Chain A
């Protein structure tokens, strides 16, 4: 498909090597060279399968080139060849840390195509599960950040919380990870009778554990502060320019949250704050994530207090066949703005599904801010972006 001319052009583009040194005088004096290093795809700190081609001058990174695609499963092509409801399990596997939001975005897009009316109880349950999903994703994110800095314990505390939420999810959806719970027109099933009570109990417990396990242990640590303060410093202009969303954007102080500014579903009825910070470094992103967990707890309490009664599934007929057109569903996933663009040609299968995952976009930041940092600073910067392999590769 590529003509010969264009291919050579591409090769010259990809073959760039900077040869820059952080301190060129030293190189001239001693005849030093930079060290090329390929970090990943099999590397414990690469959040799955990311490969970074690094050029190092001592410990200082002078070039960072992310290579992706090691977990590319062609979600978009698969989605084109499946019927509308059958795409939902595919979306589950995009961001496997926060899969409820992935389903939600796709379902919203299809519902926009169908102009469907969703029963209020279904909307409330969706928001409830989505907020649990956010906690389930943010708390391990904090743990992973610490894991990459060399502290092993917080990740296990984080996974204890995740496991407990997974048990709740298992009771509701029947699965521990790939839920396939949010369906076009509502949700798969109503909450079991005792579950709202158990959720309430869990949330109360989490509120109490948050302080000792995730604040005192982490923020009270000098080394954590030394490793994260001022690392990956972002200005607001830079963050907006790079198209960041989610905690990396909010930690610079730009107040943008899809739930607040492009409200969807039950979020119109909820009272919550958009957590922002002013610093724009790794420590700030940690604080933003922690604040969002607290906000999620607040929202879950509100939803559980006023859970509307009624059906959980709208009657959309057996066969979902939207009219020609396009629908965009946009939700705030744990990592930022997640949008699904579904184009329909009037048949049973979508003509085109495009997933805008926040991780892909946020990861552009690596090329921009890693050069100039030390090699070990890549890990907290990865923690700032907190990408998930499945989501950036689709």
Chain B
């Protein structure tokens, strides 16, 4: 039961990935830059794009999901590795106070705790997640999502006047 990892020339492989994504999803903004395939997708088609990556192109490893709070919207970065030098970085933006996005645990089971962490820290709900609980913070009696920019900490300092 061996896993087949992609082989061959890195640049050719990255071009193949880019072609694959473009053919299926028509992603105009995508590009290959410094060994990274960068995609910007709409949140609705994100699971489909990741399914393409895993099942058709053989990018097997989900490295992490970063959420960035852009105050009005949330920017999600899905970092995929093919374990042989190629990287696929998928970015998507979800809007709203209580953002909802489709879970990708069905595609990458490892996303389970990444999504729980994102839910815990930012309050992003993942539709279809099997077990969406907080990962780090208290399960009850705690209504905050600490990595939001609106969550002020008392010792916040600014370095504006520093030279």
Q: Which residues of A contact B (CB under 8 A)?
A: 1-3, 6, 10, 13-14, 16, 68-69, 72, 74, 76-77, 80-81, 83, 235-237, 240-243, 245, 253-256, 261-262, 319, 326, 328, 330, 337, 339, 341, 343, 347-349, 351-352, 354, 356, 360-361, 363-364, 393-394
Contact = CB atoms under 8 A, between A and B. Distances in A.
B42 to A, nearest CB: 20
Contact of B63 (A77, A241, A348, A356): A356
B136 A243 contact: no
26 contacts: A1-B98, A2-B143, A3-B98, A6-B98, A14-B139, A16-B131, A69-B135, A69-B138, A72-B136, A77-B147, A81-B157, A83-B159, A240-B3, A240-B60, A243-B61, A243-B63, A261-B85, A326-B77, A330-B63, A341-B64, A341-B77, A352-B66, A352-B147, A364-B112, A364-B113, A394-B136
A76 B133 contact: no
Contact of B83 (A2, A254, A347): A254
A6 B139 CA distance: 13
Contacts of B60: 240
B68 interface: yes
Contacts of A361: 110, 113-114
A1 B63 contact: no
B121 interface: yes
A6 B83 CA distance: 37
Contacts of A394: 136
The prevalent SS among residues of B at the interface is: loop
Contacts of A349: 159
Interface string B61-96: 111101111000000010101011101000000000
A109 B139 CA distance: 33
Given A240-B3, A330-B63, 15 more contacts: A6-B98, A13-B132, A74-B146, A76-B121, A76-B147, A77-B146, A81-B153, A81-B157, A240-B61, A243-B108, A254-B5, A348-B159, A356-B63, A360-B117, A394-B136
B156 interface: yes
A35 B63 CA distance: 36
B1, B5, B84, B110 interface centre (most CB from chain A within 10 Å): B110
Contacts of B155: 81
A68 B135 contact: yes
B127 to A, nearest CB: 11
A315 B157 CA distance: 27
A329 B157 CA distance: 26
Contacts of B81: 262, 337
B112 A236 contact: no
A368 to B, nearest CB: 9
A296 to B, nearest CB: 21
**What 4 pairs across the A-B complex have the smallest Cβ distances?**
A243-B110, A356-B64, A69-B136, A354-B66
A360 B69 CA distance: 22
Contacts of B145: 1
Given A69-B136, A242-B110, A254-B5, A261 B84 contact: yes
A236 B136 contact: no
B56 interface: no
Contacts of A242: 109-110
Contact of A341 (B79, B87, B137): B79
Contacts of B87: 262
Contact of B64 (A13, A254, A343, A354): A354
Contacts of B79: 328, 339, 341, 356
Contacts of A236: 1-3
A2 B85 CA distance: 40
Nearest to A73: B136
Nearest to B113: A364
Contacts of B163: 319
Contacts of A72: 136-137
B125 interface: yes
A1, A72, A74 interface centre (most CB from chain B within 10 Å): A1
B1 A235 contact: yes
B133 A13 contact: yes
